[in-house]
């Protein structure tokens, strides 16, 4: 079917298009304007902007920890019965199915779950398969697992480590690899409670730095498009800026992605020994071209923090609100679920401002990514409000009025005049994520790209514009109209398929038999286990 | 002014959420607006006028003539005024009420007085499980006020109770005052197995030995305290009991030592 999206302002930084024009779609892909043919369906996009579907690179939408959070907070479910606005916790706690709908309504068409424990891969993919409309992807978590730490301790060759990473990514159907507080969770099991980049994991004699560097090189050499996704040590601690700075410096010219950098923008100045170090961090990111970051912006209100950084979550459990938490000191990373309310007090105001400083002071929109680390900084439903803050200094000033003045005085936020342009938004949320993840088929509106298109009606109210898209197309099918979901379809999980080495598979089989008394088959699964017609879509590794 | 009276026309065809029918929410409404309030929770979306005939005008004293097991959340969030229900009610009657009084002349379903923090809720018939208890995921149950069940209460009455008085006069099911944080549960008519299961602090007053006492409770020895006679006097003065519950000799068991262990079960010696 030939569809024409007529008369919208097309913003496609990759194709260099910016101006009013038509966009043509046929058979799920974007096509050049066909000569001499009329569209079977025409969508009137006058007064609208037309962008590629947005891509979220870091949002915890499925997997074991997400379900544990649901178990911990059953009152969130009742908050979604008929009277949501009158009940506490009404802004989070929706189902997997609702996740897809809410993302699509905002014009997002691809979302990455960034922390899949490889052992949880089947469950994670089953859950992601229940999320409609959008395409999904996962990152496999490595770096605290006994097998890898033992390889590093025993000075295994880099090709052996690459074989292991390749097997993990392939068997867990991931799109990349992530390391969470490298070595920190393993050290936690030995009662370590503070762990930095150059600290040594007891029993393995391996430093956190060594783990990060090893995985970074393995990802690079395997040709995995997405650079190693790093959740640094010391998340959320005053002075964590030093850890982030050391990690950035450790990239040494090879691509590295730092997740939710906001949580590392903390200095130790002021009488509370808690201050903004965002400008220092932004400067360093600007000067280090191999680094990409996502922000993990904090927005105010109730949320729940979900992390496989068990060491961090263990120390944060005293701040839980409501006062309950789950700490899971399990195999590999373990994890922790700590509900939290971001208040407009000194600490909350500072965190909020630091995130925005990073957004605004990092100059290259190709290297800074739009996230709230859902749900850790805020649920993803806060995105429209965040777009407004980025695009309007007036909105920032208005918001700042209700916040802690002494906190904001420690930041540069109110002195920053920068406002994101629509073009920059398109880069940050479409073009750049596609390039970062190696997804050549999306994030742009050139002929041949899959027809994931978001159309927003222009208006003064930026939050409203991005909160409820006028039209959204997924693979050429109209799925959202005037902010309402009009069609459900099942997306796919994007995955890499590096070929695992046979010797490594034999070795892993022996390891799992010896350690767990289980066949390696327990840690792999056939595609048909995900009962969808086409559950996965393969993304190519670089040669 | 005569009391605002909701006369039940017939057994409702679906569960009803009666939480809008409290004085604070009806105070500024005209009668025809009240009739349009949606009560149904299914796609039938029944309104007040479909279920009740209205009469009277004084919203501070509300009467339901006729009750049903399908009446949920009656008197929820009540903060002042009175509600009388001449019949049965369903779940969560008086949920999170903070003042005023509710009288249920029939029996109540589960979670009666759930999370109440003040006021008085009296049920003349039986009550279901989790009387005064929290809903799933909430950290505390009843945190104040007086809750009286004249009939029998189901299992786990006073679950996670934090403050206030819960009196059950027709006996309790199993695990009364389970996970109790503090407060007082008075039981006439005996209790089922393991009262005070995982209680941290608080007092359970019971007129005879429970069917089974948890092994993590220990008898504290001879006990001499004015608390028993004070409690007895209070129960009589409040019109809750006719005669002393504990009497002169009391056996005291402390626990639950599986957790904090600062709670107590007081048993009237003559009944043991």
How do the domains of chain B map onto residue ranges?
Answer: 61-271
Angle between helices A346-361 and A278-286 (to 10 degrees): 20
Provide the H-helix boundaries in A416-501: 422-426, 432-437, 462-467
**At residue A457, what are phi and psi to the nearest 5 degrees?**
-80, 125
Residues pairing with A141 in the sheet: A178
Subunit contact B137:A323, Cβ cutoff 8 A: no
Chain B residues closer than 8 Å to A323 by CB: 139
Q: Which of B213, B210, B208 is nearest to B255 (CA)?
A: B213
The token pair at A328 is 């899971």
Read off the pLDDT of each residue in A110-131 and give the average, rounded to a whole number.
94
**At residue B81, what are phi and psi to the nearest 5 degrees?**
85, 180
Which stretches of chain B are assigned E, i.e. beta strand?
3-8, 16-17, 52-55, 58-65, 71-72, 82-86, 101-104, 120-123, 143-149, 163-168, 184-187, 203-206, 218-219, 250-255, 263-268
The answer on pLDDT for A415 being more than 60 is yes
How buried is residue A193: exposed, middle or buried, by Cβ count under 10 Å (0-12/13-18/19+)? Answer: exposed
Model confidence over B72-105: pLDDT tens digits?
A: 999 999 999 999 999 999 999 999 999 999 999 9
Name the DSSP class of A431. Answer: I
- The fold of B61-271 is Pectate Lyase C-like (2.160.20)
For residue A86, what pLDDT is reported? 45
Q: Which chain B residue has the Cα nearest residue A88?
A: B138
* List of residues 6+ apart from B225 with CB closer than 8 A: none
**At residue B227, what are phi and psi to the nearest 5 degrees?**
-60, -40
Read off the pLDDT of each residue in A409-415 and give the average, rounded to a whole number.
95
Question: Can you tell me the ipTM of this complex?
Answer: 0.72
- C-alpha distance from B136 to closest chain A C-alpha (Å): 6
Pick the CATH number of A51-493 from 3.20.20.150, 3.20.20.140, 3.40.50.2300, 3.40.50.620: 3.20.20.140
- C-alpha A86/C-alpha A89 separation (Å) is 9
- C-alpha distance from B137 to closest chain A C-alpha (Å): 5
Average per-residue pLDDT for chain A: 93
- C-alpha distance from B97 to closest chain A C-alpha (Å): 15
Chain A residues closer than 8 Å to B137 by CB: 72-76
Residues pairing with A306 in the sheet: A337
Q: Which of A310, A433, A301 is nearest to A380 (CA)?
A: A301
10 Å Cβ neighbour count for A205?
A: 11
Query: Which H or E element spans position A135?
Result: strand A135-142
Torsion sign (Cα): B47, B53, B57, B58: negative
Residue A88: band (very low, low, confident or very high) from pLDDT cuts 50, 70, 90: very low
Helix (H, G, I), strand (E, B) or coil at B195: coil
Q: State the residue for tokens 């762990």.
A: A195
- C-alpha A86/C-alpha A80 separation (Å) is 10
Provide the H-helix boundaries in chain B: 23-26, 31-35, 48-51, 227-237
Domain ranges of chain A: 51-493
Residue A324, chain B, CB below 8 Å: the answer is yes
Read off the pLDDT of each residue in B250-259 and give the average, rounded to a whole number.
95
Model confidence over A505-521: pLDDT tens digits?
A: 999 999 999 999 999 98
For residue A71, what pLDDT is reported? 86
Q: Which of A150, A249, A256, A268 is nearest to A197 (CA)?
A: A249
Residue A205, chain B, CB below 8 Å: the answer is no
For residue A225, what pLDDT is reported? 97
Name the DSSP class of A330. Answer: -
Model confidence over A239-279: pLDDT tens digits?
A: 999 999 999 999 999 999 999 999 999 999 999 999 999 99
* List of residues 6+ apart from B39 with CB closer than 8 A: B16, B17, B18, B20, B21, B46, B47, B48, B51
∠ Cα A366 A370 A376 (to 5°): 145
Q: Which chain A residue has the Cα nearest residue B134?
A: A75
Name the DSSP class of A53. Answer: P
**At residue B139, what are phi and psi to the nearest 5 degrees?**
-90, -25
């Amino acid at each position: 079917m030939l569809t024409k999206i007529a008369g919208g302002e097309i913003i496609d930084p990759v194709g260099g298009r910016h101006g009013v024009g038509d966009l043509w779609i046929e058979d799920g892909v974007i096509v050049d304007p066909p000569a001499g043919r009329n569209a079977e369906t025409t969508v009137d996009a006058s007064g609208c902007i037309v962008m590629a579907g947005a891509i979220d690179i870091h949002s915890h939408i499925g997997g074991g920890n997400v379900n544990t959070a649901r178990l911990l907070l059953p009152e969130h479910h009742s908050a979604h019965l008929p009277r949501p606005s009158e009940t506490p916790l009404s802004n989070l706690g929706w189902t997997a199915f609702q996740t897809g709908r809410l993302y699509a309504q905002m014009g997002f068409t691809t979302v990455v779950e960034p922390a899949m424990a490889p052992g949880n891969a089947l469950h994670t993919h089953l859950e992601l398969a229940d999320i409609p409309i959008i395409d999904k992807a996962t990152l496999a978590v490595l770096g605290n697992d006994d097998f890898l730490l033992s390889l590093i301790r025993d000075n295994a060759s880099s090709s052996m480590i690459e074989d292991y990473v390749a097997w993990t990514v392939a068997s867990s159907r991931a799109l990349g690899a992530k390391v969470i507080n490298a070595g920190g969770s393993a050290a936690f099991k030995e009662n370590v409670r503070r762990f930095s980049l150059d600290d040594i994991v007891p029993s393995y004699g391996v430093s956190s730095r060594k783990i990060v560097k090893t995985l970074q090189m393995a990802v690079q050499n395997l040709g995995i498009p997405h650079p190693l996704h790093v959740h640094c040590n010391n998340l959320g601690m005053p002075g964590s800026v030093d850890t982030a700075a050391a990690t950035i410096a450790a990239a040494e010219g090879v691509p590295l992605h730092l997740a939710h950098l906001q949580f590392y923008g903390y200095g130790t100045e002021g009488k509370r020994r808690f201050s903004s170090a965002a400008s220092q961090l932004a400067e360093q990111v600007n000067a280090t071209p191999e680094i990409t970051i996502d922000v993990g912006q904090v927005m105010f209100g109730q949320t729940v923090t979900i992390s496989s950084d068990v060491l961090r979550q263990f120390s944060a459990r005293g701040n839980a609100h409501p006062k309950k938490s789950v700490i899971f000191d399990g195999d590999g990373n373990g994890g922790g679920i700590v509900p939290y309310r971001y208040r407009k007090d000194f600490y909350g105001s500072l965190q909020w401002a630091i995130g925005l400083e990073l957004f605004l002071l990092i100059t290259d929109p190709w290297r800074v990514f739009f996230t709230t680390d859902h749900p850790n900084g805020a649920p993803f439903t806060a995105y429209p409000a965040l777009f407004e803050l980025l695009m309007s200094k007036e909105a920032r000033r208005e918001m700042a009025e209700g916040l802690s003045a002494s906190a904001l005085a420690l930041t540069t936020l109110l002195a920053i005049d920068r406002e994101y342009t629509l073009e920059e938004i398109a880069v940050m949320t479409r073009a750049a994520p596609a390039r970062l993840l190696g997804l050549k088929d999306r994030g742009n509106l050139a002929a041949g790209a899959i027809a994931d298109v978001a159309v927003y009606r222009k208006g003064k109210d930026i939050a409203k514009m991005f909160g409820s898209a006028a039209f959204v197309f997924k693979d050429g099918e109209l799925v959202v109209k005037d902010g309402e979901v009009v069609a459900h379809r099942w997306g796919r999980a994007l995955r890499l398929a590096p070929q695992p080495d046979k010797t490594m598979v034999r070795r892993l089989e022996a390891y799992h038999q010896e350690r767990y008394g289980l066949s390696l088959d327990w840690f792999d699964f056939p595609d048909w286990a995900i009962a969808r017609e086409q559950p996965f879509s393969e993304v190519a590794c670089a040669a | 002014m005569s009391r605002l009276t909701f006369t039940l026309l017939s057994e409702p065809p679906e569960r009803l959420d009666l939480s809008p029918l409290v004085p604070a929410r009806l105070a500024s409404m005209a009668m025809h607006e009240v009739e349009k309030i949606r009560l149904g929770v299914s796609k039938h979306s029944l309104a007040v006028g479909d279920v009740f005939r209205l009469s009277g005008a004084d919203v501070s004293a509300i009467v339901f003539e006729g009750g049903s097991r399908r009446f949920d959340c009656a008197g929820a969030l009540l903060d002042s005024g009175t509600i009388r229900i001449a019949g049965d009610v369903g779940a969560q009657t008086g949920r999170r009420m903070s003042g005023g009084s509710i009288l249920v002349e029939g029996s109540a379903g589960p979670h009666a007085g759930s999370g109440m923090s003040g006021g008085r809720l009296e049920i003349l018939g039986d009550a279901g499980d989790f009387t005064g208890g929290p809903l799933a995921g909430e950290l505390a149950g009843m945190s104040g006020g007086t809750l009286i069940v004249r009939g029998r209460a189901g299992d786990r009455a006073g679950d996670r109770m934090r403050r206030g008085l819960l009196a059950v006069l027709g006996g309790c099911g199993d695990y009364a005052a389970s996970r109790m944080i503090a407060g007082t549960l008075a039981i006439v008519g005996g209790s089922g197995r393991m009262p005070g299961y995982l209680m941290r602090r608080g007092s359970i007053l019971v007129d005879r030995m429970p069917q089974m006492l948890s092994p993590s409770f220990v008898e504290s020895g001879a006990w001499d305290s004015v608390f028993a006679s004070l409690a007895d006097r209070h129960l009589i003065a409040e019109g809750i009991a006719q005669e002393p519950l504990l009497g002169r000799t009391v056996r005291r068991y402390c626990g639950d030592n599986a957790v904090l262990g600062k709670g107590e079960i007081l048993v009237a010696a003559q009944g043991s």
